[in-house]
Amino acid sequence: MIEKIKEILANHKDISGYKIKETTIHSNELFFVKKNVDMDRAKRVHHYNLTVYVDFTEDGMNYKGSSNTDIHPTMNDTEIESAIRETAFAAKFVKNPYYPLVQPAESQQASALSAFAKESFPYWMNEITKAIYKNDIYEKGGINSCEIFLDKIETRIVNSEGVDVTDSGYRCMIEFITTWKEEGEEIELYRRIDCSDFDEELFAEEVKNMITICRERAIATSTPALKTASVILTREAVKDFFSYYYSKSNAASVYNQSSTWKVGDQLQGKEVKGDRITMTLDPFMKNSTDSESFDSEGFPLKPVKLIEDGELKRYAADTRYAYYLGVVPTGNIGNIIIESGSKTIEELKKEPYLMTTAFSDFTVDTMTGDFCGEIRLATYFDGRTTTPVTGGSVTGNINELHHELYLSRERSKDNNFEGPAMIMLKNVTVAGIAKD
C-alpha cells in the first residue's frame, strides 16, 4: 500500500513533501464484572495516515502548509488519488512558517524487548488476569469490575526525504474499580495501569494497594477546615505535578507563547529553600508505553536532560519547533525522569501534614501552574495523631510554591514517569469540610 500511495503522490507536482505513517494494531480485550468475564474481544486493524506538505510564498514569506488524511486499506487507486488531491488542496490554506522535514538518520537505537513478545496473546491475557485477581481475597471488598487491553503495535514511518523507520511495541492497559464496605456505604475507587511489559508484582500489588485505600476511605472522617497546610502529594499526583515542567520546557509551548521559560532561567526562583528539580527525558525507559526509537515524525531519539538543579538547560523540541527557535531538535519524548530529593519519607512526615492518596481527578493547568483536586482519601497528621480523611479539595499554584518543595529520596515508577515517590509543598490551600 505504501508503494501505491508513493506512486500516486509522485503525480502531484503541487505537493512539496509527504509523510506516511503505517500502524498495525493487534489486540485482545477482556471485560470483567466481579470475577466473571462479561465480554471478550479481539481485533487486528491496519491504518495508513498520510500527511502532505505544500510549500508556498506569500508577501515574501515562506510557508509550509500541511494536512492529513486516512488512507484505508480497501481504497482503490481512484479513491486514493481523490483523497490526496483533497488533502493537498486543504494544505494550501494552512499558513505555518516554513520548516524542514525530518532527514534520514544513520542509525536508531532499538527499543527494549517486552516479555509480551515471547508468548501468545491468550497466554498473557490469562497471566495478567491471574495477577490482577491474585489479591482479590477479602470478604468486605475487592474488584468490582476490570477491563484488560493488550495491544501489539507495529509502526512504520516513511517520508519524502528518505526516512523509512520501523518499530514495534506493546501497550497493556488495565482499568479496575475496587470497593470496600464497612458499616456505612460501600466505597469505590478507580485505577488505571499502563505498561509495556508483564510485571506480575506490579499488577497484584496495585490491586492490593487500591483495596487498602478503599478500606481507609470507608473509615475516613471529613477533611478538617485547615485553610492552608503542608501537603504531601503521592502516587499519580506526583507524575501529574511534573507535567507542568514537561509542558513549559517544550519548544512548541515557547513558540506559541504559552511558556515564557528561557534557557538559563532559574525555574524555582533565585532563593530555593527546598530541593531543586532535575528532569531528563528518556525514550528508552523500561516498561513504558511511551518508549520508542523515533518520534511521530520519524526523528531518532536519545535521552536528553532538560532541567538541572532547577535551571532550564535546553528545550524539548521536535524538528519544526527546533527550526523556529533555532535550537537543536530532541524529538518528542514522552518519558520523564525526575531526580530524587534530599529527605526520606520518614523525614517529610515529621511535621504536621496532609498526605493525599487519591483524588477524584488531580488537575494541573500546564499553562498557569494552577493545580487542584477533590480529595477522595488523604492522611492528616496534626502533630500527634494520624487520621484518614476524605472530601474537600487542595488548590495551589506551582509558580508560587516551588521555591520550597521537598522531593522524597524514595522513588516510584508509573508507566512513563520515574521519580520521587512523594512531593511536599508548603502553604497549599485546603478546603476542608469538617464543621469544627
The verdict on 373 binding other proteins (CB under 8 A) reads: yes
Piece of 109-117, 164-172, 344-352, 359-367 that binds other proteins (CB under 8 A): 359-367
Please select the residue that binds other proteins; options are 187, 207, 232, 238, rule is CB under 8 A.
187
Angle between helices 121-133 and 200-218 (to 10 degrees): 30
Q: Position 264: which residue type?
A: G
Shortest Cβ 202–other proteins spacing (Å): 18
Residue 34 or 92: which CB sits closer to other proteins? 34
By beta-carbon proximity to other proteins, the closer residue of 372 and 407 is: 372
Nearer to other proteins by Cβ, of 58 and 185: the residue is 185
Considering only 123-131, 171-179, 202-210, 255-263, which stretch makes contact with other proteins by CB under 8 A?
171-179
Would the CA dihedral through 116, 119, 124, 125 be positive or negative? Answer: positive
What cell does 410 get? Answer: 524514595
Question: Is residue 154 at the binding interface for other proteins, with CB under 8 A as the rule?
Answer: no
Q: Cβ of residue 370: shortest distance to other proteins, in angstroms? A: 5
Task: Decide if residue 177 touches other proteins (CB under 8 A).
Answer: yes
Rounded Cα–Cα distance for residues 248 and 262 (Å): 10
Q: Per CB under 8 A, does 287 bind other proteins?
A: no
Q: In this chain, which of 35, 95, 140, 192 binds other proteins, going by CB under 8 A?
A: 192
CA torsion 149-421-266-249 (nearest 10°) is 0
Q: What is the footprint of other proteins within residues 88-147 (CB under 8 A)? A: 144-145
334 lies in the site for other proteins, by CB under 8 A = no
In angstroms, the CA 172 to CA 174 distance is 7
Q: Could you tell me which residues come within 8 angstroms of residue 83 by beta carbon, excluding any fewer than 6 positions away?
A: 50, 69, 71, 75
Q: Based on the shown chain and the rule CB under 8 A, indicate whether residue 401 belongs to the binding site for other proteins.
A: no
Least Cα distance to 280 among 253, 313, 258, 256 occurs for 313
* Residue 360 binds other proteins, judged by CB under 8 A: yes
Min separation Cβ 428 and other proteins, Å: 10
- CB closer to other proteins out of 144 and 266: 144
Cβ atoms of 388 and 219 closer than 8 Å: yes
Looking up cell 501489539 gives 152
Bridge partners, residue 279, by sequence? 307, 338
Applying CB under 8 A, among 22, 136, 188, 318 the residue interacting with other proteins is: 188
Site for other proteins in 24-63 (CB under 8 A): 25, 29, 31, 33, 39, 41, 43, 45
- Considering the rule CB under 8 A, would residue 186 count as an interface residue with other proteins? yes
Judged by CB under 8 A, the residue of 63, 190, 284, 323 near other proteins is 190
Q: Which of these ranges, 3-11, 173-181, 286-294, 319-327, lies near other proteins under the rule CB under 8 A?
A: 173-181
Question: Closest CB to other proteins among 327 and 431?
Answer: 431
Taking a C-beta distance cutoff of 8 angstroms, is the pair 323, 331 a contact?
Answer: no
In eight-state DSSP terms, residue 266 is B
Nearest partner of 30 among 114, 139, 133, judged by Cα: 133
Helix (H, G, I), strand (E, B) or coil at 136: coil
Assign residue 287 a region (left: φ > 0; alpha: ψ between -120 and 50; beta: otherwise).
left
CB-nearer residue toward other proteins: 166 or 228: 228
Please enumerate, as own/partner, the contacts of 54-62 that have beta carbons within 8 Å and a separation of 24 or more. 54/14, 54/15, 54/16, 54/88, 54/91, 54/92, 55/16, 55/17, 55/98, 56/92, 58/95, 61/97, 62/97, 62/98
Type of residue at 36: N
By beta-carbon proximity to other proteins, the closer residue of 376 and 402 is: 376
Q: Rule CB under 8 A: is residue 292 a binding residue for other proteins? A: no
Stretch of 101-109, 202-210, 244-252, 355-363 lying at the interface with other proteins (CB under 8 A): 355-363
CB of 47 to other proteins, least distance (A): 10
Contacts with other proteins by CB under 8 A lie at 25, 29, 31, 33, 39, 41, 43, 45, 144-145, 173, 175, 177, 179, 185-188, 190, 192, 225, 227, 360-361, 363, 365, 368, 370, 372-374, 376, 391-395, 397, 429-433
